[in-house]
Structure 1
């Protein structure tokens, strides 16, 4: 899955979790600071992504830099979806 596709899935899932549209969402959007996502909503986001794109999360792999912005989260998701193409 391309990075832009993952970011679009993130935007859609975050919109549902936060119960509001996110028209200004892009790779530079800071998940915690800009969107105010708390830990409970982050778990909801991960569950939504599990349902919609088949994401499987290893809690041990969730480093702080994963949450920096939508781009870093999208990169993490891409590695979890297809480890063979993680650097693509």
Structure 2
């Protein structure tokens, strides 16, 4: 199963904006909490941005779990 390249680009941009980093620094394997230092408020904001983009609820707990990566966010958004 291949990852949706367009969805990855959108999610990487969202995460980059929240992390205050250039999008080029955001890689699919980066972990939201551990590598990018996002806090729970930023995770909530990410969940809302994804919800607004895909038009359906996203389980924020999945995004806020230890080890959740940018690639996992794409899988959650496109599931």
**Which runs of at least 4 in structure 1 moved beyond 6 Å after TM superposition?**
none
TM-score by length of 1: 0.66
Count residues in correspondence: 76
Matches within 5 A, 1:43-62: 43-58=44-59, 62=62
Contact residue 12 and residue 23 of structure 2 kept, 8 A: yes
Q: Which ranges in structure 2 are unaligned for 5 or more consecutive residues?
A: none
Q: Distance in 1 between matches of 2:59 and 2:7?
A: 18
SS at match of 2:23: coil
Cα offset, 1:35, TM superposition: 0.6
Q: Distance in 2 between matches of 1:55 and 1:40?
A: 20
**CA spacing shift, 1:36–1:24, aligned 2, 3 Å:** same
TM-score by length of 2: 0.71
Deviation per CA, 1:10-68: give whole Å up to 9, x if none.
11111222333231222211111111011110001111122233242245x73837x52
Q: Which ranges in structure 1 are unaligned for 5 or more consecutive residues?
A: 80-88
1:24 pairs with 2:40: no
Q: Which residue of 2 aligns with 1:75?
A: 75
- The structure number with the bigger radius of gyration is 1
**CA spacing shift, 1:55–1:17, aligned 2, 3 Å:** farther
